[in-house]
Amino acid sequence: MSPQNPTVAVSAPGKVLLAGGYLVLDREYTGLVFGLSARINVVAAEIHTGPGVQLSEIVVDSPQFVDAQWRYGYHRAPEGGGIKVTQLQVGPKLNANPFVETTLSYALTYVDHIAGQAGTDSLKPARLIILADNDYYSNPGKATRGGRFAQFGVPLSGAHKTGLGSSAALVTALTASLLTHYLPTHLFDITSDGGRNLLHNLAQAAHCAAQGKVGSGFDVAAAVFGSCLYRRFSPAVLSSLPEPGAPDFSGKLAHVVEGPSWDTVIVKDGLSMPAGVVLRMCDVDCGSQTVGMVKKVLAWKAADAEGSKKLWDKLQGRNEALAAALREGKLDELPAKVSAIRESIREMGMLGDVPIEPESQTKLLDALSEVEGVYGGVVPGAGGFDAAALLMKDDDETKQRVEEFLVKWSREKGSKVKLLSVKGEMEGVRREGLDVYGGWL
């Protein structure tokens, strides 16, 4: 007989918004978002207690980092307030983790609601282990353990992220692992269309609450569904949700998650990568203030409604043309399609007075585009100085030429640019076998 709450492992991919930066904030436009082979993994298991011991505790471990364990108590809030989660110990070495804490509140509240409707009491103490593929961090510090999951030897706060969408992948994998651990497959099945839609809605709600604002959501969509053409949901979808613990949070969360109000459009068959072509990421080791850049672009858009609409319509057309060239395998058209997108992006940056494609990135991408086997590259997402995405031939010779070019470029320019091992992939969230995590459990 299998245990009521089995040990399960789930992973969710990071993302790159290849085309549609800024446009994806507006429901009139779409984003071309690719999932990545770098994944956030979460293993959920029971905590076994001795006779007569009652625990209401969730322990969250991130063992790749120093002092990265969070312990939470949970209890049912009165008046249908759902499951309230409280961090049990806070010290000088232990920061709050709003993405983990908020996701626990949302996921456990939904689990408790569903289990209550089914007449069962599913919530029991659990241990969650979070493991991130190495490409999420560009500065592994004193990484001592090789393989897929390095032991970084620094606290989580000291790790330098590469901007692959770790928070959305974490929230998605955490939510999926809790639902899969606590609920039988007839109540939640991660492999079904209905299960993935439910996961998407719950993870979007938790992620928006954790970051304190309703974002466009393309990163959560990629974490759940993988590579897709994405049109955002209306922010009003989440406007009726109170704080966890507030009266009727549980009922309202279930209504939002299961309700028909989601107007997201996620198209999987509108996007594919031709055989022999790969999407690769470059880490450019210097960050960008995305939030400030977005505010400035939106201020320009508001101040020049007519001009900005004209430019965004043109950029949307160019983004769709790139998606079509990829889908139809027209490799000879890729360089011109990518170049046209970059031209419009630079125009938007100039008009909004924002370094979406800074001059240093323009020089880097122009030079990379001349390397044999490279079809072109863009500064993905909101742009800035910290990453580049390349479309290139998927063979060892092209990879070697790009790596040699970047070594020479970094030496001559005094910068640090490297090709990450991560690749674009089509698959979203998935169950994993426990053997992948040998030595960590």
Which pLDDT tens digit goes with each residue over 313-325?
999 999 999 999 9
pLDDT higher than 80, residue 79: yes
How many residues are listed for the chain in this entry?
441
* For residues 361-378, average pLDDT: 97
- DSSP symbol at 353: T
Q: Under a CB-based contact definition with an 8 Å cutoff, are residues 333 and 348 in contact?
A: no
Q: Specify the CATH architecture of the domain 8-269+432-437.
A: 2-Layer Sandwich (3.30)
Query: Which pLDDT belongs to residue 288?
Result: 52
Torsion sign (Cα): 200, 86, 134, 439? negative
Q: How far apart are CA 182 and CA 7, in angstroms?
A: 10
pLDDT band of 262, cuts 50, 70, 90: very high
CA distance 200 to 177: 13
Dihedral sign computed on CA atoms, order 86, 123, 181, 257: negative
Neighbour count for residue 391 (Cβ, 10 Å): 26
- Burial status of residue 111 (CB atoms within 10 A of its CB: 0-12, 13-18, 19 or more): buried
Regarding predicted confidence, which is higher, 361 or 292?
361
Checking if the pLDDT of 145 tops 60, the result is no
pLDDT at 161 > cutoff 60: yes
Q: Where are the domains of the chain?
A: 8-269+432-437, 277-425
- The proportion of the chain whose per-residue pLDDT surpasses 90, expressed as a percent, equals 76
Predicted confidence at residue 52, as pLDDT, reads 58
- Which of the four pLDDT bands, split at 50, 70 and 90, describes residue 91? low
Angle at 439 between CA 433 and CA 440, to 5 degrees: 75
Rounded to an integer, what is the distance from CA 143 to the centroid of its chain?
A: 24
pLDDT recorded at residue 1: 32
Which pLDDT value is given to residue 251?
96
pLDDT, tens only, 295-314: 999 999 999 999 999 999 99
Query: Which range in 66-75, 122-131, 333-342 is most confidently predicted, on average pLDDT?
Result: 333-342
Q: Give the model's confidence band at 198: pLDDT under 50 very low, under 70 low, under 90 confident, else very high.
A: very high
User: Which of 149-153, 182-186, 389-393, 402-406 has the least mean pLDDT?
Assistant: 149-153
pLDDT for 27: 96
pLDDT for the residue numbered 286: 57
Give the SS3 label for residue 94.
coil
Q: Computed from CA positions of residues 296, 299, 303, 306, in that sequence, does the dihedral angle turn out positive or negative?
A: positive
pTM of the model: 0.94
pLDDT at 3 over 60: no
With bands split at pLDDT 50, 70 and 90, how would you rate the model's confidence at 147?
confident
Q: What is the pLDDT of residues 397-410, one digit of tens each?
A: 999 999 999 999 99
Residue 232 has pLDDT above 90, yes or no: yes
Average pLDDT of the segment spanning 123-130: 94
pLDDT for res 191: 96
Per-residue b/e over 286-299, b at no fewer than 16 CB within 10 Å?
eebeeeebbeebee
pLDDT over 90 (residue 164): no
- Three-state DSSP at 92 gives coil
2, pLDDT greater than 50: no
Q: How confident is the model at residue 290 (pLDDT cuts 50, 70, 90)?
A: low
User: What pairs with residue 424 in β-bridges?
Assistant: 36
Largest CA distance in the chain: 70
Mean pLDDT of the chain: 91
Task: Write the class of the CATH domain 277-425.
Answer: alpha beta
Token reading at 28: 């009139």
62 CB-near residues (< 8 Å, 6+ apart): 68, 69, 129, 130, 131, 132, 156
Segment among 25-29, 193-197, 311-315, 385-389 with least mean pLDDT: 385-389
Question: What pLDDT does 139 receive?
Answer: 58
Cα(214)–Cα(403) distance, integer angstroms: 38
